[in-house]
Every structure is written in structure tokens, then in C-alpha cells.
């Protein structure tokens, strides 16, 4: 190819490159905006609060008396800013624990080897919180209040008796679905040995009791039954 | 669905751009010996173009599946890298091949870093080791002088047969690697619960790095480090007092350096009067800001639509046109509109980086993303501002486009960090959705149980 021909071709293609450059920027910006909107729409329900932690006792510099902290369906609680329930107090560990709303109530799992006092008993293992449970860290005391929908879910923990006095067996897949490691006073920090064992078993991550397929299956079966 | 359509459109546009530019590079080829007006087809350019197209496809479709990378970020980065490789190829064939080689190695490193970010939770026990490593890497170049600064470690030297002078053909710039260490260490130190004592360590580390860079006379990288560290401190603490103190300290330090360093004073004078005529050492008349003046003339020659890819007449007098002044080459070949589009691509990458930082659920990851985004943004701003004479020129590279193995590798590793944080944020979102699914299932089970009981 001769130089003049190449120069003419190169100059004419420079208009194409200019147009492509502008189109790439516009398309990239549109993609970024669409992605942001889609993610925002998808994540909105997860920010819904199902209850509140209300400060009922103790004082702290940056926490007002009777202050309420919204509790979402699942998340972490602690004095680190990254926590979903951020309580700015030096008496609370950076990441005190994780909580998950389950069929049987609000499950709280202390993390990092720390303990939490629930209704006056110290736990180092996952513990179920009921409505009005008193949760304490240091001198700070909080009361858990669940909203109506969550309270109904917590109530499902007690299976009502049938007319003949017997109780209904839980649906097997549901039992498998919500297999939880419940904490009991026997697992409290009073027993050092058991506490150590529990600590080793317990990691920061909770084994979520949900299998997505099971959850879908359950939803479908419930819908079928409702029909 | 709209999201997928946009992805396809963007990837197609980038591939079309690369293909057209690659074909032009192939046609341009090399002048036939003895006939300066004839060109032969260059099939090496064709091979490079095929490789670049493959990288764009892999980055947009396969990396998101394999390592959870952000497809938009990858596509934009690959657009810049493709442009860089082909622009370097238009400057010289060896330079283009060299750039393509580092791009390929950098892609592998990016995958490794991205996977590592997903696994590392804290580096607290490695703080002293990493800080000492960073200090050693910054001290090592102090004993060598390359291009008037102590920022490089020479690897390979050749002796010029005519002049007998030793010419460095290959060198590494340790500060490019240390900037990754700076971001990782600052993010980890500032992400802990007890940030007050840790932040003292972080500040000490940042000050040490900046001090060593001043000793190296590498003022451009020094400015980058200082601004990135300051932004990370502000992001971690939210303290305007700290921010203003840092800015005031930086301004004071700059004044001190200006008063005591001849090199920096010369740069400022060149920035203020680039076209002033001065006498050179040989008694001739030259321009005071020769580099900037040539760069501005190349920018002006490009005009709105450029002179065309491969036309070398306009930038051949610009010094360091494959490194510091590569933006002048882009402007002269593709024009001002395309150059603005390239800058807009950087802006999209920056917005995407900030979005990834917002989405990150862990403080460490959020600070990592902020640090990486800030560094790439400041680096682009500083070099483009220097090339268009907005402020004094400092010798930093333009990310993904400038020639330089150390720069290319560090930029790719930075993108690996961003992609790793993106993957973690995606994983956390999926977990949250699983919990939400559980919540719905619980509600359904409750309805089912109460109906059975009631029935």
C-alpha cells in the first residue's frame, strides 16, 4: 500500500474511531447506571427491619437513653461501623455477633470467642432470642422487640395442640430446613470445657439452615396447600 | 435483560474498535526498505489483534464466570489496554510487542490477585514484614540514577558503540509495586476496630513511603502516594480535621521541596513559561519547557478528529512519547474528541470502583476499593494535567496505555484487587438473597402449619 492511500484511509477511519469512542463511553455509562438500578431494586427488601433493639439500661457516651436500633432479617451487630446494627459503644465488641431470623425466632450467634448475656445468662453459643429478650453487653442492656410479622414467625416455634390433645409433627423438610444449633443455659460459659469445645465448633459464619431448593420446594408446597 | 443487551453492545463496540485499529496497524506495517512511500502488510499486527480480541471476550464473559470479575470493569480496562498496545505498536513495533507481553502477564497476575483478595481476611501478623519489604524496595533504587532520578533499578545495560556511554535498556521501578503494598497495608490497618492505635502505624508507614520517594526525587509518585493515603484516611475516619491537616501538611511540604530542590523549581518554571526562549548549554536557543511545548503542539496538531493512526509526523519531536507523553500521541493521532472519550472511560472505571467500594460489606474490602480507585484516578489526573500543562509535569505513567512493565503489572494487579472486592460483594449479596428466600419460605411454612392445625 502506498503512503498517500494509507494516509487517506487512516484519516477517514479517524472519524470512525471518534464515533466508536463516544459510543463506548455512552454504552458503558448506560450499563453502569442500569446495573446500579437493578442492584438497588434487588437489594431493597433486605433492608427491611423486622425488629428493634431498644436500650433499656446503662449509659454510653454516644448512645442516647432508650435509643432504638433497627434489626434487619439477617446481619451483624457490634460497635464496628461495618456492622448492620451499629451500636457505638466501647463496651460492645467490634463484631459482637450475627443474628438471623428463623422459624423459631431470632437466632443470635456470638462470634470471635465473645459471649453475650441473654436474660441474665451468659452464652458463647448460638441462642434464640424471644420477644422482649434482654440482651446485655457490659453495663448496656437492650430489649428485643420484633415487629408483627416476625412475632408471628417466632410464635410458630410452639406447635399448637390438636383437638385430641396430641401435637402436630412438623413437616419433615421444614425440620431439615431449619436444623439449628440451639444454645441452652447448659452451654453457658460456666463450663470452661464445653465452652472451649463450642468455641472451636463455632466459626464466624453460621451454617445457614436454608437450602435454596428446599426453600423453593416449601414455598411451592405451601402454595399448593393454600389452593 | 437490558443489562445483558448493554453488555453485548459494549463488548461488540470495543471489539469493533480493536479490530478496525488492528487492521489499520496491519496495513501500516513497516516501510519497505529503499521505498519510503510503500508499506507492506504486517501479520504480527494481525496476530496481536486476534490476541486482543480474545482478551476482550475472555474479560467480558469468561473472567466473570471463573473469578467473579466485574464485566464492565474488565471491558473498559481491556479497551484501554488494547488502545495502549496498538498505540505503542504505531510508535514502534518492539514497543507494541513489549506492551502486549506485559499485558498478558498482567492478566495472569490480575486473576491471582483477585482470587487472593477473596481469601485474605486480615494481614495483621504480616504488617512488620510487609512494611520492611516496602522500605527495602524503596531504598534499593537510591543507589542508582536513571533519567535523573533514583526511582529505577537497572537490570540490563548496553554500551553505545559510538559514544561509549552506558545505556539502560531494562529497569524496574519498585515504587510501582510498593503502591499496592501501601493500599493493602493502609486498608488493613484502618479497618480494625481499634483504629486509633492502628492508624498511628498507618500514618507512620505512609510518611515513611513519602519520605523515601522524596529522597528518590520521584516527586510524581510521591504526590500519588500522599493523595491516596490522605483519601484513605479520610474514608476510614471521616475526619475533616485530618483531611485539612493533611492537605496543609502536603502544601507545606511542597513549598519546602520547591525552596530546596532545583529540579522541582525548574518544573514549576517550565509549567509557567513553557514557550520562553532560553540559551542551552551549547549556545543555541531553545524553549524553556521544551517537553511541554512539544506536547502542546502535538495536541494542537491533532485537532478535533486527529491526523490518523500511524501518522508519526506530529509527535516525533515529543520527548518520552511512549511513556509520560503518550496522551499527546493519542490526541495527535485520534483527536480531541476521542481523547476526551478515553478520559471518560477512566471516569467510568472510577465511578465503578467507588460503587464497588460502596457495595463491599467488609471495611477492609471497602478501603481497598477506595484506595485502588483513588490511585488510578489521581495517576490519570496528574499525568493528563501535566501533559496539557494544567499543573507542573511529573513523571508518572498513564494507566494501561503508557509503556512500562512495572506500571502495567501494578495497574493490572490493582484491577485484580477491585475485581476481588467485587466478587466478595457479589457473594455477600447472594447470601443475603438466600436469607431473604429463607424468610419467604418460613412465612410459607408458617401458613402451611397453621392451616393444617386449623383443619
Decide if A90 touches B, using CB distance below 8 A: no
How far apart CA B25 and CA B52 sit, in angstroms, is: 13
How far A101 CA lies from chain B's nearest CA (Å)?
A: 7
Show Cβ contacts of residue B118 under 8 Å, excluding neighbours closer than 6 positions. B68, B420, B423, B424, B427
Decide if B301 touches A, using CB distance below 8 A: no
Helix H, strand E, coil C: the string for B326-390 is: HHHHHHHHHHHHHHHHHHHHHHHHHHHHHHHHHHCCCHHHHHHHHHHHHHHHHHHHHHHHHHCCC
Tell whether B138 is covered by a domain: yes
How far apart CA A103 and CA A151 sit, in angstroms, is: 10
How much is the mean pLDDT over chain A? 68
Tell whether B318 is covered by a domain: no
CB pairs under 8 A between A and B: 216
- Residue B19 pLDDT grade (very low, low, confident, very high; cuts 50, 70, 90): very high
Torsion A175-A178-A184-A188 (CA) sign: positive
Tell whether B455 is covered by a domain: no
How far A34 CA lies from chain B's nearest CA (Å)?
A: 6
Q: What is the pLDDT of residue A42?
A: 64
Q: What is the pLDDT of residue B100?
A: 95
Contact call for A43 and B3, based on CB within 8 A:
no
How far apart CA B57 and CA B53 sit, in angstroms, is: 6
Highest mean pLDDT among A149-153, A189-193, B66-70, B451-455: B66-70
How far apart CA B375 and CA B379 sit, in angstroms, is: 6
Query: How do beta strands A49-57 and A68-72 pair?
Result: antiparallel
How much is the mean pLDDT over chain B? 85
Q: What is the pLDDT of residue B342?
A: 97
- Residue B169 pLDDT grade (very low, low, confident, very high; cuts 50, 70, 90): low
Contact call for A17 and B16, based on CB within 8 A:
no
Contact call for A94 and B79, based on CB within 8 A:
no
Nearest C-alpha neighbor of B25 from the set B10, B54, B47: B47
How far apart CA B156 and CA B154 sit, in angstroms, is: 6
Contact call for B441 and A39, based on CB within 8 A:
no
Quick check: A103 pLDDT over 60?
Answer: yes
Q: What is the pLDDT of residue B281?
A: 66
Contact call for B3 and A11, based on CB within 8 A:
no
A170-215 confidence digits (pLDDT tens): 333 333 333 333 333 333 333 334 334 344 444 443 333 334 444 4
How far apart CA B402 and CA A80 sit, in angstroms, is: 41
Which of A24, A73, A80 is the closest to B14 by Cβ? A24
Task: State the residue range of the domain holding B178.
Answer: 121-213+222-236
Q: What is the pLDDT of residue A16?
A: 94
Highest mean pLDDT among A7-11, A30-34, B19-23, B311-315: B19-23
Q: What is the pLDDT of residue B95?
A: 87
How far apart CA B179 and CA B282 sit, in angstroms, is: 40
How far B1 CA lies from chain A's nearest CA (Å)?
A: 10
Chain B from 324 to 363: CB within 8 A of any A CB: 333-335, 337-338, 341-342, 344-345, 348, 351-352, 355, 359, 361-363
Which of B13, B429, B441 is the closest to A218 by Cβ? B441
Query: How do beta strands B30-32 and A85-86 pair?
Result: unpaired
Q: What is the pLDDT of residue B106?
A: 96
The residue ranges of DSSP E strands in B24-131, in sequence order, are: 30-32, 35-40
B265 vs B18, residue with greater confidence: B18
Show Cβ contacts of residue A96 under 8 Å, excluding neighbours closer than 6 positions. A76, A77, A78, A79, A83, A110, A111, A114, A116, A137
Q: What is the pLDDT of residue B161?
A: 66
Question: What strands, in cross-sheet order, belong to the sheet with A116-118?
Answer: A68-72, A49-57, A140-146, A134-137, A116-118, A121-123
| Cα–Cα distance list, B394 to B80, B249, B271, B276, B323 (Å) | 21, 20, 11, 20, 12
A36 vs A197, residue with greater confidence: A36
Cell 510487542 appears where? B97
- Residue B275 pLDDT grade (very low, low, confident, very high; cuts 50, 70, 90): confident
C-beta of residue B48 within 8 angstroms of C-beta of residue B85: yes
Tell whether B302 is covered by a domain: no
Could you tell me the residue ranges of all domains in chain A? 3-44, 48-157+179-203
How far apart CA B313 and CA B315 sit, in angstroms, is: 6
Q: What is the pLDDT of residue A67?
A: 80
Judge residue B439's burial from the number of C-beta atoms within 10 Å of its C-beta, 0-12 exposed, 13-18 middle, 19 or more buried. buried
- Residue A23 pLDDT grade (very low, low, confident, very high; cuts 50, 70, 90): very high
A201-215, B52-66, B265-279: least confident range: A201-215
Nearest C-alpha neighbor of B154 from the set B413, B323, B406, B402: B406
How far apart CA B373 and CA A198 sit, in angstroms, is: 41
How far B265 CA lies from chain A's nearest CA (Å)?
A: 38
Contact call for B3 and A31, based on CB within 8 A:
yes
Quick check: A153 pLDDT over 80?
Answer: no
B236 vs B415, residue with greater confidence: B415
Contact call for B311 and A7, based on CB within 8 A:
yes
Q: With contacts defined as CB-CB under 8 Å, which chain B residues touch A177?
A: 441, 445
Decide if B433 touches A, using CB distance below 8 A: yes
Find the length of chain B: 455
Interface test with B, best of A1, A12, A19, A24 (most B CBs within 10 A): A24
B293-325 confidence digits (pLDDT tens): 888 988 998 889 888 898 876 677 788 788 889
B178-222 confidence digits (pLDDT tens): 999 999 999 988 887 555 678 888 889 999 999 898 888 888 889
Quick check: B238 pLDDT over 70?
Answer: yes
How far apart CA B411 and CA B373 sit, in angstroms, is: 11
Tell whether B268 is covered by a domain: no
Q: What is the pLDDT of residue B345?
A: 97
Q: What is the pLDDT of residue B272?
A: 86
Decide if A100 touches B, using CB distance below 8 A: yes
How far A159 CA lies from chain B's nearest CA (Å)?
A: 9
Chain A residue nearest residue B453, CA to CA:
A162
Decide if A170 touches B, using CB distance below 8 A: yes
**Number of structural domains chain B divides into:** 1
Q: What is the pLDDT of residue B56?
A: 96
Tell whether B93 is covered by a domain: no
SS3 call for B168:
strand
Decide if A27 touches B, using CB distance below 8 A: yes
C-beta of residue B409 within 8 angstroms of C-beta of residue B102: yes
Quick check: B235 pLDDT over 70?
Answer: yes
Torsion B31-B35-B41-B44 (CA) sign: negative
- Largest separation between any pair of C-alpha atoms in chain B: 107
CA B335 from chain center: how many Å?
A: 22
Q: What is the DSSP secondary structure assignment for residue A187, as one 8-state letter?
A: G
SS3 call for A129:
strand
Decide if B310 touches A, using CB distance below 8 A: yes
Tell whether B321 is covered by a domain: no
Which of A35, A82, A93 is the closest to B72 by Cβ? A35
Percentage of chain B beyond pLDDT 70 is: 84
Percentage of chain B beyond pLDDT 90 is: 44
Quick check: B160 pLDDT over 60?
Answer: yes
Interface test with A, best of B444, B450, B451, B454 (most A CBs within 10 A): B444
Q: Which CATH number does A48-157+179-203 carry?
A: 2.60.200.20
Chain A from 180 to 219: CB within 8 A of any B CB: 208-210, 212, 214-216, 218-219
B279 vs A123, residue with greater confidence: A123
Decide if B72 touches A, using CB distance below 8 A: yes
Q: What is the pLDDT of residue B356?
A: 93
B342-355 confidence digits (pLDDT tens): 999 999 999 999 99
Cell 519520605 appears where? B211
C-beta of residue A54 within 8 angstroms of C-beta of residue B445: no
Chain A from 46 to 85: CB within 8 A of any B CB: 46, 73-74, 78-82
Contact call for A36 and B355, based on CB within 8 A:
yes
- Residue B20 pLDDT grade (very low, low, confident, very high; cuts 50, 70, 90): very high
* C-alpha R_g of chain B: 25
Mean pLDDT within A142-164: 57
How far B360 CA lies from chain A's nearest CA (Å)?
A: 9
How far apart CA B447 and CA B454 sit, in angstroms, is: 10
Amino acid at each position: 500500500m502506498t503512503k498517500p492511500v494509507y494516509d487517506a484511509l487512516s484519516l477517514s477511519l479517524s472519524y470512525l474511531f471518534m464515533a466508536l469512542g463516544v459510543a463506548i463511553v455512552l454504552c458503558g455509562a448506560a450499563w453502569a447506571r442500569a446495573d446500579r438500578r437493578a442492584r438497588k431494586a434487588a437489594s431493597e427488601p433486605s433492608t427491611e427491619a423486622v425488629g428493634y433493639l431498644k436500650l433499656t439500661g446503662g449509659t454510653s457516651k454516644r448512645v442516647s437513653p432508650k435509643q432504638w436500633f433497627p434489626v434487619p432479617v439477617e446481619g451483624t451487630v457490634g460497635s464496628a461501623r461495618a456492622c448492620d446494627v451499629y451500636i457505638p459503644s466501647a463496651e460492645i465488641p467490634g463484631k459482637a455477633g450475627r443474628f438471623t431470623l428463623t422459624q423459631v425466632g431470632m437466632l443470635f450467634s456470638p462470634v470471635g470467642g465473645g459471649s453475650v448475656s441473654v436474660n441474665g445468662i451468659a452464652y458463647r453459643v448460638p441462642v434464640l432470642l424471644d420477644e422482649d429478650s434482654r440482651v446485655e453487653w457490659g453495663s448496656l442492656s437492650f430489649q428485643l422487640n420484633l415487629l408483627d410479622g416476625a412475632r408471628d414467625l417466632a410464635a410458630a416455634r410452639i406447635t399448637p395442640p390438636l383437638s385430641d390433645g396430641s401435637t402436630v409433627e412438623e413437616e419433615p423438610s421444614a425440620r431439615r430446613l431449619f436444623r439449628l444449633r440451639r444454645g441452652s443455659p447448659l452451654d453457658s460459659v460456666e463450663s470452661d470445657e464445653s465452652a472451649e469445645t463450642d468455641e472451636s465448633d463455632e466459626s464466624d459464619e453460621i451454617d445457614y439452615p436454608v437450602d435454596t431448593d428446599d426453600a423453593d420446594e416449601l414455598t411451592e408446597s405451601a402454595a399448593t396447600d393454600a389452593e | 435483560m437490558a443489562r445483558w443487551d448493554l453488555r453485548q453492545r459494549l463488548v461488540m463496540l470495543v471489539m469493533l474498535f480493536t479490530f478496525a485499529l488492528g487492521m489499520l496497524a496491519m496495513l501500516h506495517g513497516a516501510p519497505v526498505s529503499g521505498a519510503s512511500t510503500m508499506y507492506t502488510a504486517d501479520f504480527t499486527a494481525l496476530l496481536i489483534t486476534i490476541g486482543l480480541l480474545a482478551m476482550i471476550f475472555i474479560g467480558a464473559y469468561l473472567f466473570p464466570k471463573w473469578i467473579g470479575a466485574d464485566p464492565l470493569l474488565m471491558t473498559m480496562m481491556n479497551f484501554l489496554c488494547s488502545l495502549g498496545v496498538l498505540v505503542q505498536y504505531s510508535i514502534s513495533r518492539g514497543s507494541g510487542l513489549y506492551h502486549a507481553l506485559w499485558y498478558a502477564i498482567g492478566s495472569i497476575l490480575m486473576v491471582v490477585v483477585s482470587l487472593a483478595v477473596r481469601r485474605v481476611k486480615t494481614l495483621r501478623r504480616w504488617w512488620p514484614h510487609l512494611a520492611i519489604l516496602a522500605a527495602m524496595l524503596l531504598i534499593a533504587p537510591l543507589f542508582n540514577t536513571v533519567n535523573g532520578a533514583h526511582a529505577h533499578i537497572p537490570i540490563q545495560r548496553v554500551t553505545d558503540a559510538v559514544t561509549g556511554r552506558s545505556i539502560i535498556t531494562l529497569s524496574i521501578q519498585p515504587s510501582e509495586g510498593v503502591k499496592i503494598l501501601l493500599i493493602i497495608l493502609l486498608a488493613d490497618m484502618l479497618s480494625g476496630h481499634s483504629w486509633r492505635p492502628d492508624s498511628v502505624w498507618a500514618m507512620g508507614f505512609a510518611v515513611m513511603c513519602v519520605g523515601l520517594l522524596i529522597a528518590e526525587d520521584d516527586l510524581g509518585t510521591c504526590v500519588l502516594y500522599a493523595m491516596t493515603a490522605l483519601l484513605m484516611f479520610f474514608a476510614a475516619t471521616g475526619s475533616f480535621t485530618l483531611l485539612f491537616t493533611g492537605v496543609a501538611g502536603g502544601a507545606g511540604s511542597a513549598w519546602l521541596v520547591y525552596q530546596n530542590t532545583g529540579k522541582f523549581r525548574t518544573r514549576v518554571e517550565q509549567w509557567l513559561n513553557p514557550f520562553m526562549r532560553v540559551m542551552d548549554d551549547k549556545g543555541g536557543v531553545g524553549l524553556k519547557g521544551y517537553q511541554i511545548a512539544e506536547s502542546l503542539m502535538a495536541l494542537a496538531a491533532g485537532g478535533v478528529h486527529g491526523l490518523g493512526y500511524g501518522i508519526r509526523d506530529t509527535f516525533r519531536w515529543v520527548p518520552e512519547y511512549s511513556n509520560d507523553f503518550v496522551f499527546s500521541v493519542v490526541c495527535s493521532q485520534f483527536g480531541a474528541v476521542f481523547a476526551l472519550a478515553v478520559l471518560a472511560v477512566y471516569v467510568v472505571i472510577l465511578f465503578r470502583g467507588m460503587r464497588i467500594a460502596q457495595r463491599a460489606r467488609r471495611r477492609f474490602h471497602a478501603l481497598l476499593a477506595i484506595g485502588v480507585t483513588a490511585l488510578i484516578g489521581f495517576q490519570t489526573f496528574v499525568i493528563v494535567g501535566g501533559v496539557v500543562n494544567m499543573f507542573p509535569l511529573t513523571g508518572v505513567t498513564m494507566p494501561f496505555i503508557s509503556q512500562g512493565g512495572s506500571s502495567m503489572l501494578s495497574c493490572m494487579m490493582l484491577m485484580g484487587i477491585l475485581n476481588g472486592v467485587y466478587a466478595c460483594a457479589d457473594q455477600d449479596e447472594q447470601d443475603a438473597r438466600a436469607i431473604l428466600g429463607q424468610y419467604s419460605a418460613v412465612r410459607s411454612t408458617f401458613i402451611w402449619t397453621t392451616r393444617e392445625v386449623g383443619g
